[in-house]
Every structure is written in C-alpha cells, then in structure tokens.
Chains A and B, each alone.
Chain A
Amino acid sequence: MNYPFWDVPLIGGGILIGIVAILHVFVAHFAIGGGLYLALTERKAIKENDQKLINYLKKHSKFFLLVTVVFGALSGVGIWFTIGLVHPSATSTLIHSFVFGWAIEWVFFIVEISAILIYYATWDKLDPKTHNTIGWIYFAGAYLSLVIINGILSFMLTSGKWVDIPFTEPSKKFWVGFFNPSYFPSLFIRTGVALALAGLYSLITATRVEDEELRTKLVQYSGKWLVPAFILIPVAGIWYISIIPPLAREISMGGAPAVTVFAVLSIVFSLIIALFAWLGPIKTPKQTSFAFALGLLVIGFMVTAVTEWVREAVRKPYIIYNYMYSNAILKTQGDKINEIGALNFAKWVSVKEINEENVLKAGEEIFRVQCQSCHTIDGYNGIKKLISGWSENYIDFQLQHLDMLKGFMPPFYGTEQERKALAKWLYSLNEEKTK
C-alpha cells in the first residue's frame, strides 16, 4: 500500500517473477555445480595426463561461459529488477534487513566473474596447475554466493525468531534471520540440485564429442554426477519439509490441490530423471545421444519450474513469513488499517472517502491495493472466475473470514464500509457477465 501497484495485464506480476526466476535458478545452479565439474574434471585430466579431456573441457568452458556469465548473471539481475517492480515493499525489506549480506555476496560475484573470465581465457597461457587453481577459485566464489543468497531466500519462508528480535539488537537480528530454521536443509537441497545440473548440462556437450572412446567415458562420467543429488535431495528434502511452518506443509500436501499436484509432479519428474540417467548415460553411455541428453535437460527444467512454483506458493499468505503478507501489508499494521481504513492508509489511491457515487470506484481501488498482487481480474488467478455466481452477501461473508476459509489468504483489512464497497464492486463483476 506504500508503493504504487504495477498493473500487469492478464498474467499479473507473480507469473512475471516466476518466469524470470525459474530461468535464473535453472542456470544459476549450473553455474555452481558446473564450476566444481570443471575444476574436478580438469584435475583428473592433469593427473591422467589426458590431453583429449583437456580439449573437451576447453570447449565445455566456452559453453559454460556463454550460459552462466551472460544469461546466469543477467537473469539474476533480472529477478531483482522484477521483484522491485512487483513487490517493492518486500524487496525493500530484504535489502534493508541484509544490506551487508548482499554486499558480501557482491564481493563473491566479483571474484567469481573475474575467475571464470580468466579461466576461459588462459587455457594455453597458464601452467595446468595454476589454471586448475583458478577453476577452484571460481567454484569457491560461486558456492559462497549460494551460501549467502540461500540465507536470504530461506528467510522468506522461515523467518523464525527474526520477527521477535528488536531492531536495537541489529547484529543478532541479522544472524538469526540469516541462519533461519530452513537454512541448512535448503542449502543441501540446492547443493544437490547444483551437482545434478552440472551433470545434465555437461551431457549436452559430452554427447557431442566426436571421438567415441572419449564420448563414452565422458557421458558415463557426467551421468554419475547425478547420483549424489538423488541421495542428498530426498534426505534434505524430508528435513526441509519437517521444518517449514505447518501451514506451508499443509498447503503442499493437500490443502491447496494445485500446489499438491505440482509438488507431486516435482517428485515424479525427478524420479524419471533418475531412472533415465541410470538407464542411459550410466548403463549405456555409448548409445546415449545428444537428443536424449537434451530430453533429460528439459525434464530437469520442468523439475526446476514446478519446484520453484511450489516453494513460492507455500509461503502464502505471507511474502515474508509472519512479517509481511503477500499484498505487502505488515502483520503489525492490521489494527491501524482497520481503524483508519485501507483507503486512508494506502498512498496510491484516487478515492479517500467513500460516498454513494464513488462506492464502486472505491471498491476497485481497494481491490487494487489489497488483492491484485495475487489476483488479476480476468487472467491468471482471475477473481471474476473465482467469485462467479456468488451473491453480494456471500462475497461479503467470505471477505470477513478470508484467512479462516482460505488459509493461504491474508485477512481483509479495512473498515466495514470499505469491505462492503469491495463486495459491491466484486459483485458488479458478476452482473457484468450476466448482462
């Protein structure tokens, strides 16, 4: 309510964030796991004095550079741009709570980018050992950036005791928020994902190697990079689920059917990858083709997409747990809004006082500042469809008990007059349709 609401037609801001975020996550985890892949495989090549393997790594590092340094870095900035536009208040909270966390991550970025640019440019210029060291520096920088961002991301779902610590204990507040309850399970899951994606992406370049002997060896080697993930992810996953807020667990396990379907899909797709990685690259590396590798990567992308979607969905009704609701209202502001009214509290509304003439306009404004961060009118999660057939009284009844009837929605905040105006406007959408 503090910031103007950016009206994105049809898809709404949430989907926009989703698109950018999923693309980024899919590349960023490769940027981490792939760094370890480069460093370890180069070490192996140096040990075995395998020039052919070095030549493969040279080519693979170009692919790696073009995917991670360009797309990975830019899509990361892209998420930041997008959330700042769609959820400015939440972005501001994350920025202000972790200013020097972000600054620390920035240092790791600089190290990471410098290292990979040097790594790629010096294959024939540095002695192999030093070159390999640069590879390790890259991986260290990349992994440490995960160590930082993971604290901030996991904080959003499990803010833990952060909310209760006063701002007069600033250092404690920072660390408690950062090392929040889901920090470690989340870090382990992401580490597993990074390793798996290192394998999936390197299969893309490995299956295109012309030398059959090297290709067979590489395909099998790359396939094995998926194995740790299938131990790490389920174990850390169960830990993660056991630690997240009960409401979040409920949403993912039947409370909200769409979320449950996606959660199940995430597991099914992962099992498909496990099965085919075993049957293909690991058991029959010689027959594993580029198309097969591409298929696995596409399924990998689908796992990323549905899992990220679930991770976002289970956080409802909050955007930052127990602190800020999805519509940017702070939990502590509720009483004040009930007292002075949502229109008075909101900054960017053209109606402040409701009278007989502007009641529909007022309802629409309330919808914009309080509902539209999740609901569009006609498009994604469209309100028109959701309330189709409801009477004005029934809409008003729902508005009074939003948080109880639908656990994943924040309560309505505002005066009775405002709630009635919102109900009236919502009901007018129904009338529009019947005309």
Chain B
Amino acid sequence: MTQQIIIPEPDPIPLPAPYWLLKFLLVLTFILHIIAMNFALGGGIITGITDLIGRKKNSQFHLNLARSFSKMLPIATAFTITLGVAPLLFIQVLYGQYFYTASIILAWPWLSVILLLLIGYYGYYIYQFNFEKLQGVRAWIVLGSAVLFALIGLIYTNTLVLMLTPEKWAQKYFANPHGTNFNFDDPTVIPRYLHFLVASVSVAGLLVLIYGLVKLKSDESFGRWAVRYGGLWFVIGTVVQYATGIWFLLALKKDLMMIFMGGNGVATAVFGISVLLSLVSLILILLSFNAQNPRPLSIFGIVLLFLTIVGMAVMRDILRDAYLSDYFKPEQFEVQPQISVLIVFGIVFIAGLITVGYMLNKVIKAKPVTT
C-alpha cells in the first residue's frame, strides 16, 4: 500500500527576522524551559520520595529538605509554563504546518495537558500551604502532581514525535478525525520520553545539591548531607540516563541514528562532546562527596552538566531537521525583517532582565539565604 502524504502549506506570511535568529531563540528558550521543567517534575518526584523516607525514618534532614522544596515547586511550575510560552511561539513560527497538524490528530490528549497541569499545579500549592497540617497524605499529593506532570511529558513526546513523521498523518487522521489518537506505535516514543523523564530527576538532584551548597554556611552537617543526597540522585539518574539514551538512539531509524555516528560531522561532535561532558560532570560530583570543600568540584560539575543540556538541546534540534529533511527547507522561507519591532523587542527584553534583576537583588539582600 502506498502511503498518502499530506503536508499543509507553510503560512504565506514571511518571517519577520532571519531564520537563524528565530532558530536560535527557539533552542535558547527551549533550554530555559526544559531546565525549569526538570525542577518542577523531577523536583516533585524527589520531594515526594524524600518526604516518605523522612517520615518513615523520622529523619529531620529529609523532612527539612521536603519542606524547603515544597516552596520551590510551585515557583518552578510557574516558570516552566512561562518559559514554555516562548519555544511554543517559535516552533509555530518555523514549524507551524507540522506542529498544528500533529496536535490536531492528538487533539484531546493535547488539550488535556491544560487540565492535567491545572490539577497538578494546585496540588503543589496544597502541598506547600498545608505542609504541617497534612502529614501522612501530603507526600502522595506531591507525588500525584508529579505523576500528572509526567503524563504531560508523555503527551508532549507523542505529539512532537508525530510532528516529525508526516508519513503517518493522513492514515491516522482519516481513520479517526476526532482527535483521540496516540502515537505509541512509533518505537522511539517510549525511549525518547524516558530520556526526558529520567533527565528531570537527574537535574533536579543537582538542584538539591545546589541547595546543600547554599546551606553549608548556616548548617554545615545538613548542607553536607544535602550535597551528597542530591548528588546521589544525580549520579543514579545519569547512569540510568545512559541506558535510556542508548535505547533511544537504537530505536531511531538507521539513517537518523547514523547522523550522530559519523554521518553528520557537527551532530557527531556535539553528541561526543555532550556525552563526555556528562561523564566528567558525573565524576566531579562523585568526587565532591568526600572533598574537604565540595564547592569548587560540584560547581564545576554543574556547569559541565549545563553545557551537556545545551548540547542535548542542539542535538534534539539537529535530529528534528533530519527527520523533516525531505520536506523542511529553511532556504525556502521568505524573510521580511520587521526592524523597528525587533528593536522594540530588544529594548523590552533588556529592560525586563534589568527589572527581574532588580527584584532578585532586593530579595537576596533582604534574606541572604535562599530557601
């Protein structure tokens, strides 16, 4: 049977800025979004489990950490959403015809993201505001929220992988135009999803570690414990991450896999360097556990891991364009730069950064220890 491939025409309105600038903003804001998401999702998982351990073992360290993180979770969620708006904007600018079509085929699951997020978000606030009152059930509330957030990730992976495979659209749509499809028949969906899910736990482990570093000054033994405890989440997460990563890589079609194995010089280099950076980061964090002063080693490790995330985001983008290489030709975009609007955006952006910087400065000055 020959496959019917239908792809909508790109929007006739020209791009208001050069392609590279929009692409840069897409990848940059995606990185910011994904880090906040890691804190919100992975942070919820770690907080819930830490809370359970704390109550079971009656460990004040665990409970203190859960209490502190209960305040962080809603903030991380707020920023996940807000920072997510930008990549969602730029993906519609550059890949609109793929994005809209895939989301329409999965319309109901895609729309349910909003409801899941709403419930999970309020769950985090319930956890924060009733931390002392709720006792036994509270860990299950925060874990429940984290599960809802994890489900959102699964829906995202379903949709965004379908977006890259236009060959499957017509068949799926004509079989069911009601928007109740999924994309689990694609073998990359599960490993790709796990690769994101495990990463969130790993990165949130680093947030615990950072929290420990901050606490070192005021409470040496608690701080040290948190550095190791968070570091351990990171280490275990990252080791599991290598397994999901290999699975994901092997699940890709051969020509797509090969771009990271020598087929495409840049892709292979970014892949190699990213894996190497994560390995070094892993070793540094392990070494920091027993170091006299864990600070320099772990901070270096965190910086390297941040670079790993950047590398992974770039790889993700390269993979997307490789998937779509038969259809998506950036040179076909018509560009008509809206210079004056870009200038206004630049000014507003800098003013916004200064304003947020001003407020953070006031907060830090008011209270030297962040919680």
Question: Chain A interface (Cβ within 8 Å of chain B)?
Answer: 2-9, 20, 66, 69-71, 73-75, 77-78, 80-82, 84-85, 88-89, 91-93, 95-97, 99-104, 106-111, 113-115, 117-118, 121-122, 125-126, 130, 134, 137, 141, 167-168, 170-171, 173-175, 330, 347-348, 350
Contact = CB atoms under 8 A, between A and B. Distances in A.
Given A6-B104, A111-B355, A74 B121 contact: yes
Contacts of A167: 13-14, 334, 336
Contacts of B178: 6-9
Contacts of B92: 84, 91-92, 95
Nearest to A140: B355
17 contacts: A5-B177, A9-B178, A70-B118, A74-B121, A77-B84, A81-B110, A82-B111, A85-B179, A92-B11, A97-B13, A99-B17, A108-B352, A111-B355, A113-B78, A130-B366, A170-B16, A171-B341
Nearest to A346: B6
A35 to B, nearest CB: 15
B177 A91 contact: no
B337 interface: yes
Contact of A348 (B6, B113, B366): B6
Contacts of B107: 6, 85
A137 B100 contact: no
Interface string B93-111: 1001101110111010011
Interface stretch (B143-151, B263-271, B289-297, B342-350): B342-350
A170 B89 CA distance: 19
Nearest to B14: A167
B57 interface: no
Given A73-B82, A113-B82, A174 B338 contact: yes
B56 interface: no
A265 B125 CA distance: 38
Contacts of A121: 71, 363
A92 B13 CA distance: 9
Interface centre among B22, B82, B125, B337 (most CB of A within 10 A): B82
B190 interface: no
B243 interface: no
Interface string B352-363: 100110011011
A70 B122 contact: yes
A74 B117 contact: yes
A3 B173 CA distance: 11
B348 A93 contact: no
Contact of B8 (A91, A93, A108, A347): A347
Interface of B: 6-9, 11-17, 22, 25, 71, 75, 78-79, 81-86, 88-89, 92-93, 96-97, 99-101, 103-105, 107, 110-111, 113-114, 117-118, 121-122, 125, 169-170, 173-174, 177-179, 334, 336-342, 344-345, 348-349, 352, 355-356, 359-360, 362-363, 366-367
A20 B13 CA distance: 28
B369 to A, nearest CB: 11
Given A91-B92, A117-B75, A174-B338, A100 B345 contact: yes
Contacts of B179: 6-8, 85
A114 B356 contact: yes
A113 B79 CA distance: 8
Contact of A99 (B12, B16, B84): B16
Interface of A is mostly: helix
Contacts of B81: 73-74, 77
Contacts of B122: 66, 70
* Most interface-central of B78, B84, B118, B170 (chain A CB within 10 A): B78
A111 B358 CA distance: 11
B336 A168 contact: yes
Contacts of A8: 178-179
B78 A4 contact: no
B114 A74 contact: yes
Contact of B344 (A4, A82, A104): A104
B287 to A, nearest CB: 35
A201 B187 CA distance: 50
Nearest to B349: A107
Contacts of A347: 6-9
A371 B349 CA distance: 42
Contacts of A89: 11
B338 A170 contact: yes
Contacts of A6: 104, 107, 177-179
B344 A100 contact: yes
Given A6-B177, A74-B121, A117-B78, A111 B352 contact: yes
A109 B85 contact: yes
B362 A104 contact: no
A99 B14 CA distance: 11
Nearest to B25: A103
A348 B104 CA distance: 12
A49 B203 CA distance: 46
A171 B359 contact: no
Contacts of B367: 125
Contact of A171 (B14, B117, B339): B339
Given A7-B178, A85-B111, A99-B17, A111 B356 contact: yes
A267 to B, nearest CB: 32
Contacts of A2: 8-9, 97
